[in-house]
Amino acid sequence: MSKFKYVVKRSGAIVPFNPDRIANVIYRAAVSVGGRDKEKAEELAKQVIEIMEQNFEEGYKPHVEEIQDIIEKVLIENGHAKVAKEFILYREEAARRRREDSRHFSKPNEVVPWKKVWRALDWAIAHNLHTVESTNQRIRNGEFPYIVHEAESFYETQLDTAAELIKERSAELKMVMVSGPSSSGKTTTTLKLEQRLNKMGMNFVPLIVDNYFFDLELHPKDEFGDYDFETPQALDLEMINDHLKRLAAGEEVKIPYYDFKTGKRFPDRTPLQIHDHEVLLIDSLHGLYPQFSQEIPASQKFKLYLEPLLQMKMPDGQYIRWTDLRLIRRMLRDSVHRAYNPEQTLLHWHYVRSSEKRNILPYCNTADYIINTSMPFEVPIYRPKLLDHFKEWEKKYESDPLREDAYIRASRTRKMLEAIEPVEDDSPIPGDSVLREFIGGSTLSYH
């Protein structure tokens, strides 16, 4: 039994010491460089705890940075230079993000698609939807159906442009990658894009990337015991690249099958081949991640990036955060389609965000085209559905240092929902709206 009971977080909060987390941290770093040896990670974690017990007195509360210093030392001394380098880079990157979060920079953030954001803001101002108050006024004036129509038209125009850009490159194109962070609207957008391309004489052949997950037992966990499906290293990137290269060359490949009930992958299950006038369609969080398709020439792939880039200012002068919109979207979708409690989604979101910041958002500006999937009318629709829940979660996690992230998100989202005028009648929203993917009632057939 360890003589340590508590750890001091960077925020100063004191939380229970969890030795399993050390093994998880080491394993996650190993996975990032292609390692999959959990036993070795556990063995190294024991060495870390032994050094802690030698260096610190009984009852001492080690700081998380002190523990991470020892992890680095153990990795290097045991000859795991690549894993140590990955761990060091991860720490430096996390520290940089904390510095950027704590103060404003004059230098633009390169993970934000600024040109697209400016266009979204320009559109919002032109339609008097750039602030919560102006939006509320339009709703009070009975203009909710008009807001829906304007927003849907803006989204459809972007889809038209994306389809035309893909068609222009159809002679050499082998695959279209639809990427974006969780709940950005990939499923609906992909279906509607496919409809357009079919009319242009092009056919999509879908590749289900989830079938390339490693077995569940090889996945790292976080301190709450959650498996991490959000990281690109949860996928067999080497096999994906091999299959993409062969498919682009016209070969037939056999796609594996991943059984989510058992957490096992079965090889060589489904034959797949692309023919003339066919394009491989890849709907994935990590479609823009460089290692995902590094074997495929840029000329053979079209990269589409989606994100709800809503430009609406709150009464306190802050803009509504895109991540909060996606959190709500995922809560609603998961509760309906995956029997997943919305509170579980809130508690897991720190993990989703951590992976996004590292593996998705930095590559948004490498896309061939970006589609803004936000709808200014979605926030009023969310208020009656979830406001009471966010009030409850804010109160519940206010004094829980282990759930600091959940409290901050719940508090911020509660303020957003309280500020907006509620709308309960969603009948003006079309059946094929991207929002129907999350609130239900879609007329589209999701595979």
Residue pair 441/426 in contact by the 8 Å Cβ criterion: yes
**The predicted structure's pLDDT at residue 100:** 62
Please name which of 350, 208, 359 lies closest in space to residue 272, comparing C-alpha atoms.
208
Query: Given 78, 102, 126, which residue is the final one in a domain?
Result: 102
Q: Are residues 194 and 242 in the same domain?
A: yes
Confidence label for 165 from pLDDT (cuts 50, 70 and 90): very high
- Residue 97 belongs to domain spanning: 6-102
The answer on 231 and 159 residing in a single domain is yes
The pairing of strands 14-16 and 6-8 is: antiparallel
In this structure, what token pair is assigned to residue 108?
Answer: 């633009």
- Mean pLDDT within 117-121: 94
Q: For the segment 124-145, what is each residue's pLDDT rounded down to a tens digit?
A: 999 999 999 999 999 999 999 9
pLDDT at 33: 75
pLDDT tens string 276-331: 889 999 999 999 999 999 999 999 999 999 999 999 999 999 999 999 999 999 99
pLDDT at res. 108: 53
Rounded Cα distance, 127 and 55, in Å: 63
Q: In terms of domains, do 374 and 424 share one?
A: yes
In a domain, 288, yes or no: yes
pLDDT of amino acid 373 = 98
pLDDT computed for residue 21 by the predictor: 83
**Phi/psi of residue 374, nearest 5 degrees:** -75, 150
109 occurs within a structural domain: no
- Please say if the pLDDT value at position 153 is more than 50: yes
Asked whether residue 447 carries a pLDDT value surpassing 50, the answer given is: yes
User: Cβ neighbours of residue 249 under 8 Å, at least 6 residues apart?
Assistant: none
pLDDT of residue 338: 65
Write out the two tokens for 55.
């260096």
Judged against a pLDDT cut of 60, whether residue 104 lies above it is answered with: no
Q: Could you say which DSSP state residue 182 is in?
A: T
Number of domains the chain is built from: 2
How many helices (H) and strands (E) in the chain? 14, 9
Let me know whether 154 and 68 are in one domain.
no
Same domain, 325 and 179: yes
Is the pLDDT score of 106 beyond 60?
Answer: no
- CA–CA distance from 364 to each of 71, 111, 188, 289, 386 (Å)? 32, 7, 19, 9, 30
| Confidence (pLDDT) at 229 | 78
Which residues have CB under 8 Å from 172's CB, separation 6+?
Answer: 299, 300
- Do 218 and 70 belong to one domain? no
Residue 108 lies in a domain: no
pLDDT digits (tens, 9 = 90+) for 89-102: 777 777 776 666 55
Q: What confidence category does residue 160 fall into, taking pLDDT thresholds of 50, 70 and 90?
A: very high
The pLDDT tens digits for 253-278 are 999 999 988 999 999 999 999 998 89
CATH code: domain of residue 380: 3.40.50.300
Q: Last residue of a domain, which of 69, 102, 135?
A: 102
